């Protein structure tokens, strides 16, 4: 429907009003001559309004004169009439063209650099790094290589676990994800808070700079402010921003669950083999003498062999061997004690990947449950560790 409206606008159309006593006959004659009237509205017994294309209007004039009716144009719509109106408005045309050119020109330039996800790294530091490498506001989009931008940032900030550079409109967006970094690596000239990087029960708070907001025995959630860098003056309403420093030791918990089948299925080959041949042309395969595979359980192998390969050019036709090896599926019941030890070790290894380097392990616990054929092993490790991390306060 929208496409038809756009097409009618491009071709141009008129809204007409016809007066006469033979309107029914006029409509029938118009239809017989492939003149299509749209949005026909009868105003009274001798007057109707409708919409018709420019070609239809010219053809309709002959019918109107023949039947002795009167026709007038109420409104003109469409691109041809618009172009006709602006033909003598040179200033308007020049202004319109200038606006279009300026819009295209300005939209091809980066006007804002946005940093997302920077909590421990000052956004100003990343923007300054980019400017030192000639990546700044006012630069044309086509001159920005996203991979080069990512490389520049990663070379300087080696503690990032994720970086994505994209252009959205007139903005260059740099989205990062940080690993926990040592507080010593954060520029002390920037005001910051110390926040919790995970949930825990506070054991000890040492605030070297800033204001401690938590006490021993308090439960804190991830990203709660532990030591604030926002200090209120005791003698006035002024607020000071400082670089918070200190340690917040907390009891934390790590858990991981492993599910292992007690009875596992093992495939053992019987020695019976069934083969089929085929050919692949431009990635599409054709099998010769294809039929049903005579095995209920089997392992499939596919061997491809090029027909022609010369100086690195590979002809897009290959011969293919499809090999099916029959197997018997056997149920093997595993030793429960062995499974418990193996699954406990696996869960512990997964937890060790998450443990902070400064943590002190105070307890380990493993809980085993059997649900049908599944052994579930849940390992929980409790630690004492410094859960604080730097969070820059944006000016």
* 112-165 confidence digits (pLDDT tens): 999 898 877 888 888 888 888 888 888 888 888 888 888 888 888 877 888 999
Please report which confidence band the pLDDT of residue 179 belongs to, taking 50, 70 and 90 as the band edges.
confident
Mapped onto helix, strand or coil, the DSSP state of residue 26 is: helix
CATH superfamily of the 112-178 domain: membrane protein fhac (3.10.20.310)
| Predicted pLDDT of residue 66 | 83
* 183 band by pLDDT with thresholds 50, 70 and 90: low
Strands 171-178 and 112-116: parallel
Which is nearest to 34 in space by CA: 9, 59, 54? 59
Q: pLDDT digit string (tens) for 375-389?
A: 999 999 999 999 998
Burial class (CB in 10 A: 0-12, 13-18, 19+), 121: buried
> Where do the domains of the chain lie?
2-83, 112-178, 193-248, 257-262+334-388, 264-331
Ranking 20-34, 98-112, 284-298 by mean pLDDT, the lowest is 284-298
Q: What is the mean pLDDT of the chain?
A: 85
CA–CA dist 303, 318 (Å, integer):
10
Give CA–CA dist 148/25, Å, rounded.
74
The closest of 289, 287, 198 to 249, measured between CA atoms, is 198
DSSP state of 140: B
- DSSP-derived letter for residue 190 is S
Q: What is the mean pLDDT of residues 306-330?
A: 74
Residue 170, pLDDT above cutoff 80: yes
Mean pLDDT of the region 234-240: 78
What's the CATH code, domain 2-83? 3.30.70.2280
Instruction: Work out the pLDDT band at 94, boundaries 50, 70, 90.
Output: confident
Distance between CA atoms of 174 and 117, rounded to whole angstroms?
Answer: 9
- Of 336, 320, 272, the closest CA to residue 298 belongs to 272
**pTM to 2 decimal places:** 0.53
DSSP string, 365-385: EEEEEEETTEEEEEEEEEEEE
Confidence of residue 251 (pLDDT cuts 50, 70, 90): very high
CA distance to 184, 227, 239, per residue, from 235 (Å) = 32, 21, 11
pLDDT at position 178: 80
pLDDT band, residue 315 (cuts 50/70/90): low
Model confidence band, residue 364 (pLDDT cutoffs 50, 70, 90): very high
């Amino acid at each position: 429907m929208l496409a038809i409206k756009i097409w009618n606008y491009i071709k141009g159309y008129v809204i007409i009003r016809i007066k006469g006593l033979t309107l029914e006959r006029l409509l029938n004659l118009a239809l017989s001559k492939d003149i299509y009237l749209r949005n026909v509205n009868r105003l009274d017994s001798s007057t109707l309004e409708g919409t018709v294309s420019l070609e239809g209007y010219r053809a309709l004039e002959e019918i109107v004169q023949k039947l002795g009716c009167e026709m007038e144009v109420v409104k003109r719509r469409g691109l041809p009439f618009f172009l006709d109106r602006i033909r003598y408005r040179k200033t308007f045309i020049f202004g319109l063209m200038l606006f279009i050119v300026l819009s295209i020109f300005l939209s091809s330039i980066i006007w804002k650099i946005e940093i997302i996800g920077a909590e421990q790294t000052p956004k100003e530091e990343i923007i300054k790094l980019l400017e030192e490498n000639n990546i700044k506001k006012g630069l044309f989009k086509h001159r920005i290589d996203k991979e080069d931008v990512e490389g520049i940032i990663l070379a300087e900030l080696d503690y990032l676990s994720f970086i994505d550079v994209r252009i959205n409109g007139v903005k260059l967006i740099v989205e990062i994800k940080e690993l926990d970094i040592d507080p010593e690596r954060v520029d002390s000239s920037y005001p910051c808070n110390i926040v919790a990087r995970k949930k825990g029960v506070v054991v000890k708070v040492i605030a070297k700079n800033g204001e401690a907001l938590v006490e021993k025995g308090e439960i804190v959630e991830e990203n709660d402010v532990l030591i604030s860098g926002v200090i209120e003056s005791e003698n006035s309403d002024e607020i000071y921003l400082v670089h918070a420093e200190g340690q917040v030791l907390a009891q934390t918990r790590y858990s991981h669950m492993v599910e292992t089948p007690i009875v596992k299925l093992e495939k053992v080959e019987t020695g019976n083999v069934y083969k089929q041949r085929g050919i692949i042309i431009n990635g599409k395969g054709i099998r010769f003498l294809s039929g049903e595979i005579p095995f209920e359980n089997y392992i499939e192998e596919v061997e491809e062999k090029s027909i022609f390969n010369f100086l690195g050019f590979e002809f897009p036709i290959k011969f293919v061997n499809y090999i099916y090896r029959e197997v018997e599926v056997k149920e093997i019941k595993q030793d429960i004690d062995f499974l418990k030890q193996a699954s406990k070790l696996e869960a512990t290894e997964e937890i060790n990947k998450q443990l902070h380097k400064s943590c002190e392990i105070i307890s380990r616990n493993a809980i085993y449950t059997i649900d049908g054929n599944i052994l579930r092993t849940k390992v929980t490790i409790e630690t004492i560790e410094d859960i604080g991390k730097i969070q820059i306060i944006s000016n």
